[in-house]
Amino acid sequence: MKFSVLSLIGHAPHPLTGELPSPADRFAEVVETGVAAERLGFDGYAVGERHAGPFLSSSPTVVLGALAARTTRIRLLTGVTVVAILDPVRVAEDYATLTQLARGRIELVVGKGAEAGHFDLFGLDEDRQWDLQAEKYELLRRLWTEENLDWAGEFRAPLKNVTTLPRPYGGPPRIWHGSATSRNSPELAARHGDPLFTANAIQPRAAYAELIAYYRERYAAYGHDPAGARVAAGSGGLLIADSDRQAVARYKELYEARVAQTFQPHLAGRTGYNTPFRTIESAIADGPQLIGGPQQIIDKILGYHEVYGHDLQSVTVDGFGLGHAEQLETLQRFAEEIAPVVRREAPSTLWEPPRP
């Protein structure tokens, strides 16, 4: 298995102390975490995109550019690129530029986004979100694979004889489809033979397993080799202690305060927005959160792998309010105590050079 680190660049007051770092300090932490992730042997580092709520991730291309300048090996991903609200021409130009700066280390995860407010912000109809997603994604594909493109659609002006520049380094980057609650993203990914990135962040495992199974079924139905159906999985956050009991004692108040802080009452009842795992005990027992001693986290990841068959596991360390030093310590423990075991038990050829 491969491993990546995700930051949504959250910027909410600490759930217990109320402390809030400056935006400049927060961005510096995100970049330094990416540098540390590369040093520790992680395979990827992802930056989210949010345009509503307490987040600083409205311009992921800028942050990824800073990361490209500070790293040399690690793959840089988005988590996600909200293509449904963006101009595909701008997306094609910006991310192709990033592929040149990072010499091909850029991959996108596209999705409609996890915030309800951004459609209004960009003057778009949320009821048309999936139509927007499909049309804009398919135009992005064509902009990266075709030159002198003629195109007409519903949601932007037609294009005539267009070639976006720069062209992507080494060809079009891999595009994953972020999937959380709907079959629309798995269907779009399967149709185009693209990989799927399941959120695996809030709902019970069975909900994500159903979407992954649907993706694999449709992937084969579209005539693609089932062996090429790559899957990645997120997590609801990572908290490591020496034992499961110590994890509860150390993080219970922090975890439950953050869950209460992030609850969105206006979205109550809408699947995928508020976690049902409101106590740390329920999160450890049944949630996607990776909380506990190293062996318990290993067992949970491998348990998900048995169901998902995923190649890439994403972890998040800056979502609960840990200080930056403790975030880096957590990543180091994961890299030293957890990742080697999971890599051995669940090997993956993702991002490996083809065998001669």
C-alpha to C-alpha distance for 202 and 126, rounded to whole angstroms: 22
In a domain, 120, yes or no: yes
Residue 326 makes CB contacts below 8 A (sequence gap 6+) with none
Question: pTM for this structure?
Answer: 0.96
C-alpha to C-alpha distance for 284 and 42, rounded to whole angstroms: 24
Give the domain range for residue 322: 2-345
In a domain, 351, yes or no: no
Task: Identify the burial level of 213 via C-beta atoms within 10 angstroms of its C-beta, where 0-12 means exposed, 13-18 middle and 19 or more buried.
Answer: middle
In a domain, 62, yes or no: yes
In a domain, 355, yes or no: no
Say if residues 86 and 133 touch (Cβ distance below 8 Å): no
C-alpha to C-alpha distance for 348 and 85, rounded to whole angstroms: 33
The tokens describing 329, both together, are 């310590």
Task: Identify the burial level of 154 via C-beta atoms within 10 angstroms of its C-beta, where 0-12 means exposed, 13-18 middle and 19 or more buried.
Answer: exposed
Query: Would you write out the chain's pLDDT as a tens digit for each of its 356 residues?
Result: 999 999 999 999 999 999 999 999 999 999 999 999 999 999 999 999 999 889 999 999 999 999 999 999 999 999 999 999 999 999 999 999 999 999 999 999 999 887 767 999 999 999 999 999 999 999 999 999 999 999 999 999 999 999 999 999 999 999 999 999 999 999 999 999 999 999 999 899 999 999 999 999 999 999 999 999 999 999 999 999 999 999 999 999 999 999 999 887 776 777 777 788 999 999 999 999 999 999 999 999 999 999 999 999 999 999 999 999 999 999 999 999 999 999 999 999 999 987 76
Angle between helices 88-101 and 129-145 (to 10 degrees): 50
In a domain, 174, yes or no: yes
Strands 106-110 and 75-78 turn out to be parallel
- Name residue, tokens 């307490």: 54
What is the number of domains present in the chain? Answer: 1
In a domain, 356, yes or no: no
